[in-house]
Structure 1
């Protein structure tokens, strides 16, 4: 198994399943019921952010060790500017489409707001990335994480990875006690536009930095040869993998019950504060850690497990996530993510303008959107051929 191919395939899988889960159709589509988020508190976004952090830490640390800190800082700054231009450009493109296309305001008012495109406060909020339309919220988080990443990498390279991990944990803890409320309300009022929207964020970056920074630290250690995956996920961790499996199994009925309103009232009252998705609450953190450990253990240690079924599952995982089509998506994951936003908005407009459609039409829209994801990586790799 080529490790980078596996990671590219994994990231491609996450952006593919994320596209499927982001399709908003009036009658829904049965394909979304196949998503693993239906039975666990783990979603494509978490995996996408983690693997992106892992790849970022691996590549930028290698660049720093090979060419020096200045080369790493230049590369990070260039990437941040690129993502900022794409984000701001996409938002203004969406606002233009909203105002010019028949029925655009009706289709996208909940995603883009209704403030005029030339409203000064809205323009400032867009440029400063404090107004983040639906599905355009991950890119601003990436820019923020990248701004902090060089410091974290410097700590890891100097042997202070525990400080980096501790700082990330401290930030997550501050998020859980809603420390940002000390200034977010004031900022929301300052940025308020005619549609009464000001500060608009789907994810609190103070909480969601955990999967990215965890991946970044592991990637940096890996680049320095201080991390041996076969030792971490060796035969001696088999019982821990079993615990992770039991942990996930415990939450399957909880996930189903909470999603369908079947949880007892007293239990839901205790459970709800731990399950906030926007701040990457404790339920999501623990389930993601358990799922990540179990998946990695099966992929690495499972190859030599005594049980034939586990060995077969390990080979299947390796085969699936090294498929060329998935790897192609993963190699251009951020640009595919940008393209997926266009596709999701287009599907939303079609469904509002000519829908609602039946399951046949919606299935065709979903499969067509997924197929079109490969358009961007094919174009980007065409000159290389």
Structure 2
């Protein structure tokens, strides 16, 4: 089992579960209740962002060590340009579909806004990535983080990772204090289009950057040999894994209560300020750290644990996340993510025009969409094989 295969498998898993949580159907669909976010304050987007940062730090760190800063910078800037093209292309494609498809305006007005495609301010917002339609918000955020990765990767490889971690933590704290309101409100007014929407983002980059930057730092340390996962999650760290498990068990009832509307109103009023997904509040941060530590310990140290059930869980994790199908999705994560946006918007249009369709049809539709996720990676893999053969 190659470590990168395991990471690709995890990215593929998060892409699948992310697509599942993004499918919106009238009447809902029971499959979404199987998502792990129903039991914890950890979601697919968080894992995907963190793993993306880890892969950037690892791959670009190795490039930095082998070919120098210039090669790393060119590679990251090229990736940023590619992501920008995909993002802008997807948004304009969606706007054209909204204006041309019968009933498209009604189906997607809440996701795309109502300003015409030729509105100058809307075009400016799209090109500057300050207008992010629903489910098209991770790629712009990824572009912002890649720009920071140019410096953070170098610091991590050179052993100055504490400086990057400190600045990242400071940005997260500023986000929790809503310091960004100083400039976000004037910017929102300046960017308003004819539908009164200006600055539109589902995630606050100042908060969510802590996931990506943490991944970049760990990836850079890994690439430079400054960290050994076997030492970090060795057999003697069972107490750390146990503490992480306790944190998960403590928050599980709270998550179940908030997910199903079971929390008393008085408690919810106190709890709500700490449960803000948009800025990656403290509850999400604590739960993600606990889940990451527990999962990493099970995957690395669990294989040699003295308890047979723990070894069985570790073996099961390795088996699941090294499945070729999941690894295939993870290797082509950019194209799969872009394709999943097209699929989710198509489902939304179908449901708006011909829904609701009932439990059976909705279930089959979700399964069909998830199966279609493999179309881009299969096409790309076949193209790679042809080029290699040639």
Q: TM-score, normalised by structure 1?
A: 0.99
Q: Which residue does 1:136 correspond to in 2?
A: 136
Q: Which residue does 1:207 correspond to in 2?
A: 207
Q: Which residue does 1:16 correspond to in 2?
A: 16
Q: Which residue does 1:35 correspond to in 2?
A: 35
- State the shift of 1:63 in Å: 0.5
Q: Which residue does 2:307 correspond to in 1?
A: 307
- State the shift of 1:256 in Å: 1.3
Q: Is the 8 A contact 2:40 2:248 kept in 1?
A: yes
Q: Which residue does 1:354 correspond to in 2?
A: 354
- State the shift of 1:381 in Å: 1.1
Q: Is the 8 A contact 2:189 2:198 kept in 1?
A: yes
Q: Distance in 2 between matches of 1:280 and 1:12?
A: 22
Q: Distance in 2 between matches of 1:130 and 1:164?
A: 25
Q: Which residue does 2:245 correspond to in 1?
A: 245
SS of 1:135 mapped into structure 2: coil
- State the shift of 1:369 in Å: 0.7
Q: Which residue does 1:297 correspond to in 2?
A: 297
RMSD of aligned alpha carbons: 0.8
Write the mapping of 1:332-347 to structure 2, written as runs, cut at 5 A: 332-347=332-347
Q: Which residue does 1:381 correspond to in 2?
A: 381
Q: Distance in 1 between matches of 2:265 and 2:27?
A: 29
* Runs of 5+ unmatched residues, structure 2: 386-390
Q: Distance in 2 between matches of 1:170 and 1:236?
A: 32
* Runs of 5+ unmatched residues, structure 1: none
Q: Distance in 2 between matches of 1:132 and 1:265?
A: 32
Q: Which residue does 2:180 correspond to in 1?
A: 180
- State the shift of 1:263 in Å: 1.6
- State the shift of 1:271 in Å: 1.2
SS of 1:382 mapped into structure 2: helix
- State the shift of 1:383 in Å: 2.0
Q: Which residue does 2:70 correspond to in 1?
A: 70
Write the mapping of 1:1-385 to structure 2, written as runs, cut at 5 A: 1-385=1-385
Q: Is the 8 A contact 2:95 2:117 kept in 1?
A: yes
SS of 2:301 mapped into structure 1: helix
SS of 2:306 mapped into structure 1: coil
Q: Distance in 2 between matches of 1:303 and 1:104?
A: 52
Q: Distance in 1 between matches of 2:22 and 2:70?
A: 38
Q: Distance in 1 between matches of 2:294 and 2:222?
A: 19
Query: Deviations 1:349-377 (Å, cap 9, x if unpaired)?
Result: 00111111111111111111111110000
Q: Distance in 2 between matches of 1:31 and 1:297?
A: 29
Q: Is the 8 A contact 2:64 2:154 kept in 1?
A: no
Q: Which residue does 2:388 correspond to in 1?
A: none
- State the shift of 1:71 in Å: 0.5
Query: Deviations 1:135-155 (Å, cap 9, x if unpaired)?
Result: 000000010000111111121
Q: Is the 8 A contact 2:157 2:223 kept in 1?
A: no
Q: Distance in 2 between matches of 1:28 and 1:267?
A: 27
Q: Distance in 2 between matches of 1:344 and 1:265?
A: 33
- State the shift of 1:41 in Å: 0.3
- State the shift of 1:259 in Å: 2.1
| 150-159 vs 76-85, which moves further | 150-159
SS of 1:85 mapped into structure 2: helix
Q: Distance in 1 between matches of 2:268 and 2:243?
A: 24
Query: Deviations 1:29-56 (Å, cap 9, x if unpaired)?
Result: 1111100001110000000001111001
Q: Distance in 2 between matches of 1:145 and 1:288?
A: 19
- State the shift of 1:266 in Å: 3.0
Q: Distance in 1 between matches of 2:154 and 2:58?
A: 13
Q: Distance in 1 between matches of 2:239 and 2:360?
A: 45
Q: Distance in 2 between matches of 1:361 and 1:301?
A: 43
Q: Distance in 2 between matches of 1:116 and 1:245?
A: 50
- State the shift of 1:310 in Å: 0.4
Aligned length: 385
SS of 2:384 mapped into structure 1: coil
